[in-house]
Chains A and B, each alone.
Chain A
Amino acid sequence: MMMDYVWLIPFFPFLGFLINGLWGQRLSKNVVGIIGSGVIGLSFLVTIKIFLEFIKLPAAARPVEKVVFTWIASGTFTAQAAFLIDPLSLIMLLVVTGVSFLIHIYSAGYMHDDPGFYRYFSYLNLFVFAMLLLVFGNNFLLMFVGWEGVGLCSYLLIGFWYEKQSASDAAKKAFVVNRIGDFGFLLGIFLIFWTFGTVNFREVFTLAAKYPVGSGVITAITLLLFVGATGKSAQIPLYTWLPDAMEGPTPVSALIHAATMVTAGVYMVARCSALYSLAPLSLTVVAAIGVLTAIFAATIGMCQFDIKRVLAYSTVSQLGYMFLACGVGAYISGIFHLMTHAFFKALLFLGSGSVIHGLHGEQDMRKMGHLKKYMPITYWTFLLATLAIAGIFPFAGFFSKDEILFHSLVDGRVSYWLIATIAAFITAFYMFRAVFMTFLGESRVDPHVHPHESPPVMTIPLMILAVLSVVGGFVGFPIIEGAHVFREFLAPSITPVAHTGGHHAVSFEVFMMIFSMAVAAVGIYTAYKFYLVKPDLPTAMANRFPVIYEYIYNKYFVDELYDATVVEPIKAGSDFLWLGVDDKVVDGAVNGSASVVAWLSAHLRKLETGFVQNYAVAILVGVVIITGYLIGR
């Protein structure tokens, strides 16, 4: 049984990290690339093998827990280094290893001329290792290790080009913002241990089932965990780091900041569905934050000109959808969207990377246009991914996004659905705006730059991801009974919310699908009108509503707001502590006592004349005084 060797899945990437990290400098680039991608490929193969074994297991034998060793045992507290193999973790494993493998291969082409090639691959392997621990551990503590590990790798890779000030700033920002979320997550774990006396997922969920719905402590736990999710998955109010994270190399953006790491929060919420389903208040918070983030980020995405930033805001917005799904109790739809999003968003980022590569580093869409002629493969794959994210049948995004919209209407509130639908319209608009500005229309490319298509090592992953973006949604085919393989496979891992929405007429479901497609189509048409037919219309609109445009263009001034309300006060406080307390009080006390001693010594040393007779006099005086005292007593 391969399942006994499940530890191989995280082991391979770690091995790759060690080899590339320790000896990568001495190895040739080809070897580094082969090792870096190969270890992920091996993990992927092991995952597939385990997946095939798992689906053959009878339902009673699921899920499987494999203990590698006992990691911590202290009093009543134990934590094992153990892996939980259940449908949810398997889906995540397949997505993480599969997409990572493609992105590693792509990276070998994209990063080929970078002097930090080996460093890049060792970080990337370490990231995959941490991500696998995150999705694969059987307890909260191991998940937290992975959670922090991916945060670290995210920091290292955002700041990969650390000699660039903006990159190292962005890395620090990502790390600090994530810390805020992680703090909440950690408190959540403490509270779990305090309440249940264990951190093992299955034990916690079994014990939690005894609590009543809406119990205060469960609500507190879930809200704290969700704070962690808002940090890692870039939701309001902690989303600001993700757009800046685009300073990292583009494949990193594809892997970490689109396909895998940022979805950790969604995975965590789905994993803890047993807890969240008991806390209606938390679910409301999750759904509200999700839907607000979805529309908020989507509107910002409309007015960005950096192609990667458009995609970054799009990621934030799509993550909002996933949280919306979880918040209305449709955890499976959330995970479904997570998977399809991993395919098409990774493809979009890699496509944008291909464009940037072909234009020698240009990221501004105002200096692109008409690239279809030069990079046909990139164009077609990018277009397929765009159709998928816009939600056009039969592409992957259609199935998952439509499911979320449907559930938010049926299980949630009309307001959720309405906002999410508007966001879907905006998504279709800004994504096609990106396509039109980049690949079609007039060429605005700098005449000195000669665009070229990327090498096969980059385009083949694009094509594979394009296939996945097209067919990936069919595992979750709606309406027909039993066709939603994804839902049936995943259902044992999820504890649904107690209230179950009644049965809905098929005609209603079909109508909603057609409606959401129509919304997307209108979005696409608007973009077409704006950016192909009348290219001066956007400027005219911006001039007509200058205030609104100014707000959106500047990302609602949220960064400035955080700067003014959080960063600057902390800086001022630190300045006070540094110049006031540390320099004056602490150093003052230390230096002051030293100078008092020095002053005293300067005077006392005059007693030490060096003349032996002076000492003799001192002895004599002492003897006289002591004797006088003894006699006169």
Chain B
Amino acid sequence: MVVPLSHYLALSIALFALGVIGVIVRRNALVVLMCIEMMLNAVNLAFIGFADHFQAVDGQMFVFFVLTVAAAEVAVGLALVVAIFRTRATVYVDDLNILKW
């Protein structure tokens, strides 16, 4: 059975929207990071769907790149969260507003 492209895209949009909402409204930095992962993976899903639909491997190629970037991003992001927790004893983004004058 072939899943139609619209299904892929609908799922991708839903995941992306969830990710965006999570990034904007969640307070825990870890959750925010996870939501970012979710947005990236929503995009990956769209790429896969298009690759399948157009019978082209370019989309799959992009997914590998995105996965690489996502892995690097998670490494850096978690390192930052750990560092912030060590200095400020919190990972709630509401408490982190010193990045201003």
Contact = CB atoms under 8 A, between A and B. Distances in A.
A609 B100 CA distance: 7
A617 B96 contact: no
Contacts of B97: 609-611
Number of chain A interface residues as a range:
10 to 19
B98 interface: yes
A610 B23 contact: no
A611 B93 contact: yes
B37 to A, nearest CB: 15
Nearest to B97: A610
A613 B98 contact: no
A27 interface: no
Contacts of B24: 613, 616-617, 620
A611 B23 CA distance: 12
B100 A612 contact: no
Number of chain B interface residues as a range:
10 to 19
B90 to A, nearest CB: 14
A616 to B, nearest CB: 5
B88 to A, nearest CB: 13
A616 B100 contact: no
A612 B93 contact: yes
Contact of B100 (A608, A613, A617): A608
B99 interface: yes
Contact of B99 (A612, A617, A620): A612
A450 interface: no
A612 B94 CA distance: 8
A620 B94 CA distance: 19
A381 to B, nearest CB: 82
A550 B20 CA distance: 99
Contacts of B98: 610
A267 B23 CA distance: 93
A605 interface: yes
Contacts of A613: 23-25, 32, 93
Contacts of A608: 100-101
B101 A611 contact: no
A611 to B, nearest CB: 5
B44 to A, nearest CB: 19
Contacts of A610: 96-100
Nearest to A623: B20
B85 to A, nearest CB: 15
Interface in A592-633: 605, 608-613, 616-617, 620
B59 to A, nearest CB: 21
A236 B7 CA distance: 106
Interface-centre pick from B23, B32, B94, B98 (highest chain A CB count, 10 A): B23
Contacts of B23: 613, 616
A512 B32 CA distance: 118
A134 B28 CA distance: 89
Interface string B78-101: 000000000000000110111111
Nearest to B99: A610
Interface string B30-45: 0010000000000000
Contacts of B99: 610, 612
B14 to A, nearest CB: 16
A613 B97 CA distance: 10
A222 to B, nearest CB: 71
B93 to A, nearest CB: 6
Nearest to B94: A611
Interface in B38-63: none
Contacts of B25: 613
A497 B97 CA distance: 94
A523 B99 CA distance: 96
Contacts of A611: 93-94, 96-97
A605 B101 CA distance: 8
Contacts of B93: 611-613
Given A610-B97, A611-B97, A613-B32, 7 more contacts: A605-B100, A608-B100, A609-B100, A611-B93, A613-B23, A613-B24, A617-B24
Interface of A: 605, 608-613, 616-617, 620
Interface of B: 20, 23-25, 32, 93-94, 96-101
17 contacts: A605-B100, A605-B101, A608-B100, A609-B100, A610-B97, A610-B99, A610-B100, A611-B93, A611-B96, A611-B97, A612-B96, A612-B99, A613-B24, A613-B25, A613-B32, A613-B93, A620-B20
Minimum-distance CB pairs A-B, first 4: A610-B97, A610-B100, A608-B100, A610-B99
